[in-house]
Amino acid sequence: MRKLVSGYKKFRTEVYPNHKEDFRRLANGQEPTALFITCSDSRIVPDMLMQASPGELFICRNAGNIVPAHGDLTGGVSATIEYAVRVLDVKHIILCGHSDCGVMHGLLHPNRVAKLPSVSNWLNYGARARAVVDEICDGQSDADKVMELARQNVLAQLDNLKTHPSVAAAVVKRGLQLHGWIYQIEHGEIQAWSANHAKFIPLDTIEIPEPELVTV
């Protein structure tokens, strides 16, 4: 805690004074470019990854970067998506999974979280990813399966995202773009789902078009 408080003191004395006008402007509202949906994992720092300034990213975090399909669960995730799309008019929604994800480990070995009822119940939203991995990863190592679970989970949650009425309407009406990413912690690399290549490829090799009537 001392380190955190020390960091806050540095923010107040060194960071805030240099960005005072920005914070005063942001005090009156926000206009983020993207909704960034990612895992609660402490190793994932969206602002650092994207080198984003305050006000640029609207962030939604939960265990396993899960997006329940519309109607499955009306909660914080659904409310955040709806607000970001209908009120903030974000131009992009980024769904970002990552390597060594605890939820993916739990999907692979559900017995390890059997004594965690809330976690076990939450893992049901990863059933599609687990079913796919069971089919395509037979004989592979646990590490490879966990990585593939992360990829398949991103694809599954992207499909769930499209079931939300606000998202479906915005994609058609104003070209809202949906992106599926995987962050490799060890290498500091993001791979993005490419529909054209039907696989995840390095993000820095992809040219993102300006929003228009396009979908993932």
- For range 185-205, the mean pLDDT: 94
Q: What's the pTM? A: 0.92
The answer, yes or no, to whether residue 178 has pLDDT greater than 80, is yes
Does 187 reside within a domain?
A: yes
Concatenating the DSSP letter of every residue in 24-58 gives HHHTT----SEEEEEE--TT--HHHHHTPPTTSEE
Give the separation between CA 109 and CA 204, rounded to whole angstroms: 33
pLDDT of 4 reads 94
Is 39 catalytic? The answer is yes
pLDDT of 144 reads 96
For tokens 């300006």, what's the residue?
Answer: 210
Is 19 catalytic? The answer is no
pLDDT band at 210 (very low <50, low <70, confident <90, very high): low
Is 60 catalytic? The answer is no
Question: Domain of 110: which CATH number?
Answer: 3.40.1050.10
Q: Are residues 23 and 67 in the same domain?
A: no
- For range 75-86, the mean pLDDT: 96
Q: Are residues 26 and 62 in the same domain?
A: no
Q: Are residues 97 and 112 in the same domain?
A: yes
Does 175 reside within a domain?
A: yes
Name the active-site residue from 60, 96, 101, 137: 101
Is 101 catalytic? The answer is yes
Give the separation between CA 40 and CA 48, rounded to whole angstroms: 15
The answer, yes or no, to whether residue 73 has pLDDT greater than 90, is no
Element of type H or E holding 116: none
Find out whether 123 and 103 touch, Cβ atoms under 8 Å. Answer: yes
